[in-house]
Chains A and B, each alone.
Chain A
């Protein structure tokens, strides 16, 4: 899909429909929605609203679980991960803004599983782009895009939400 034609509401709609379809299919009734800082949280807030989930939105900061610590190091301001008391046996809808190499999701899964054993995890992302590096893929997407070498796509927000394409300056997910 050509990038110039992407509009946020369209993406959100598509993601939402896709998620509703999948949750119905799997008969999920009482999921926890988890948003990954920072862009994933903005998207997750919308999803959480639309799906009318009573339980508060959970937030995840994966900085401490990144696999590239020895290359890029500590980020001083790490936000709190707020997960509910128990993950055990629950259904999780994990939301992020852009799915790229897959490492962020791997880190997120590592973190979530430290808290307990969920029943299942569904991954929903606003944009899935080319460049996957691990065998993980989203279950629901707003749109799939293909970027050229050196290009990077980023969600800005929280209000208004917008997508930005920029030239990458250093290798970072």
Chain B
């Protein structure tokens, strides 16, 4: 398969854009995790703000709605003393509006340094990185069904903190893999970091074609798929998928693919439960599990800020090699 032409790295192999896990390597991922560790430690102290990105302007270009991802990027940027501007750009099928390229050019004319982009179409962040002025860095905050690399990194960070190392781990990702950009990034990152096995557990309607080629084993039954698993990642099921061509009903989905205390027992005793959020209680996960002792869902949220601080500071700096 053709490798994604490495737009993301500068001539020294350092991050210049952060668009996808694909095209990166284990060392770089580890560097991101280590850098995030420094920021996490610092955030746990009373002084949370650093002057690293003082004077830089970061623009959140959100073509798709999101409160939490936007909020964590805003917080991460603020803690690095950067100026941040959040733009919610409406894209409706009926109104064509400004083209993607024009939006970018307009923002560039305002002397910005970095774009954090979320878009409903796969490849949007890639397109922007290819067409933006050379001094600007692009961070992908989720493009269509392609990738959501910062989410995957905060999930990896959480796993590393809790499990200490990746070798030997069995990780199961449960839910709507087909529409999940988070899942794609997670699968790639887990394999790159060297886990023992990545499993996907989902009904056939929610699995992409030839998904095994991404490096996963496929299970349709949680009772089988959760055996010997160390990390369970539950994916959010969007309301539109229910009572539609993908699934018959919420009830049926929860019975088969929802994580309950009973199903949790099938996994290893010290298995951890993760979820990128927001949670649909009673649809993909029972409240008792989400709030239970094995859940690290809230840790994921706080880790998200440290990881995004790491990604922002690493890429902002990555322009040097490009000159």
- A147 at interface (Cβ–Cβ under 8 A)? no
Assess A76 versus B38: contact at CB under 8 Å? Given A64-B52, A69-B52. yes
Q: Which residue from chain A places its CB closest to the CB of B49 in the assembled complex? A: A114
Give CA–CA (A73, B37) in the complex, Å: 16
Q: In the complex, A77→B317 CA distance in Å?
A: 16
Q: Give Cα A70 to B135, complex, Å.
A: 13
Q: Which residue of B14, B47, B51, B320 contacts A115 across the interface (Cβ within 8 Å)?
A: B47
Task: Give the size range of B's interface with the partner.
Answer: 20 to 34
Residues of chain A lying within 8 A (CB to CB) of residue B52: 64, 69
Interface residue from A65, A78, A79, A80 paired with B51 (Cβ < 8 Å): A65
Nearest CB in chain B: distance from A84 CB, A: 11
A interface footprint on B33-54 (CB within 8 Å = 1, 0 otherwise)? 0110110011001110111100
- From residue 98 to 123 of chain A, which have CB atoms closer than 8 A to chain B? 110, 114-115
Per DSSP, chain B at the interface is helix
For A77, the chain B residues whose CB sits under 8 A away are 34, 37-38
Q: Is B136 an interface residue (CB 8 A)?
A: no
Question: Chain A: which residue is nearest B35 at the CB level?
Answer: A76
Interface size class of A (residues with CB under 8 A): 10 to 19
Contact in complex: A115, B35 (CB < 8 Å): no
The residue of chain A having its C-beta at the shortest distance from the C-beta of B51 within the complex is A65
**A64/B35 in contact, CB under 8 A:** no
- Within B20-39, the residues touching A (CB, 8 Å) are 31, 34-35, 37-38
Residue of A nearest to B14 (CB): A73
B47-A74 in contact (CB<8A) = no
B313, CB-defined interface residue at 8 Å: yes
Within 8 A of A (CB), among B51-73: 51-52
Q: Kindly list chain B residues whose C-beta atoms are within 8 Å of the C-beta of A52.
A: none
Interface residues of A (CB under 8 A from B): 63-65, 69-71, 73-74, 76-81, 110, 114-115
Residues on B facing A (Cβ under 8 Å): 14, 31, 34-35, 37-38, 41-42, 45-47, 49-52, 310, 313-314, 317-318, 320
List 29 A-B pairs, Cβ < 8 Å. A63-B38, A64-B42, A64-B50, A64-B52, A65-B50, A69-B52, A69-B317, A70-B317, A71-B320, A73-B14, A73-B314, A73-B317, A73-B318, A73-B320, A74-B313, A74-B314, A74-B317, A76-B34, A76-B35, A76-B38, A77-B34, A78-B42, A79-B38, A80-B41, A80-B45, A81-B42, A81-B45, A114-B49, A115-B47
Can you name 10 extra interface pairs (CB under 8 A) apart from A78-B38, A114-B49? A64-B52, A65-B50, A73-B314, A73-B317, A74-B35, A74-B317, A78-B41, A78-B42, A80-B45, A115-B46
